[in-house]
Amino acid sequence: MPSGRTHDQITFWGLPVVVGFGFLLLRRWELALILSLAYLFSGLMFGPDLDIHSVQFKRWGIFRWIWLPYQKNLRHRSALSHGFLIGTIVRLLYLGSILLFITIIGVAIAQLMFDFSWNWRTAFLNVQRQWQQHYWAESLALFVGLEIGAMSHSVSDWLGSMVKRSQKQGLFSSFSRKKRKKRRKSPRSSRR
């Protein structure tokens, strides 16, 4: 498995490719910028290794505590942290739920201190309408950038593990099926 420094180098080496393909495919500089920045953020701070005490985890600084429950509940390199699509979706849902919780507490405190009204349903419907009408393409570019950053990490982990396994067990050991152990036959009871 590559080190944190190796993952960073992969992220930085992949950035020009993501920028180039992003601009070629999307044909809008702002979408290519969102895609590229999301890739960079995912590769450096929002990737699969948030499930352990890693470089990505340390980069959150004083906000590291946000990821402690995530680490306690997910096994390292599980499908929920390193899996295609599902890993990024789980991290987004996790971070979103933390931010929503903090927002709810902040609004509740503000309502008590400043005596203003807040209608959650109206706020949610306004955000949903704005997102659907104006920010769908930007949201998709953001998600794809986050996923590409996460997959550059996971694929390098998988390739690194495959190379180490082939060095230990032979070139084709990564592709062969595990050998089954033969069952021992139980001794036959003696006939009288």
Q: For the segment 131-184, what is each residue's pLDDT rounded down to a tens digit?
A: 888 888 899 999 999 999 988 877 776 777 676 777 777 665 555 555 555 556
The verdict on residue 84 lying in a domain is yes
> What pLDDT score was predicted for residue 192?
47
The verdict on residue 93 lying in a domain is yes
Mean pLDDT across the chain, nearest whole number?
Answer: 82
The verdict on residue 174 lying in a domain is no
The verdict on residue 58 lying in a domain is yes
Taking residues 92-96, what's their average pLDDT?
Answer: 94
| Domains contained in the chain, number | 1
Taking residues 77-95, what's their average pLDDT?
Answer: 86
Closest to 147 in 3D by CA, of 51, 83, 67: 83
The verdict on residue 173 lying in a domain is no
DSSP letter at 166 equals H
> What pLDDT score was predicted for residue 1?
60
What confidence tens digit (pLDDT) does each residue in 25-79 have? Answer: 888 899 999 999 999 999 898 888 888 888 888 999 999 999 999 889 888 777 7
> What pLDDT score was predicted for residue 4?
64
The verdict on residue 187 lying in a domain is no
Give the angle 38-41-44 at the CA atoms, nearest 5°.
145
Closest to 37 in 3D by CA, of 151, 149, 153: 149
The verdict on residue 183 lying in a domain is no
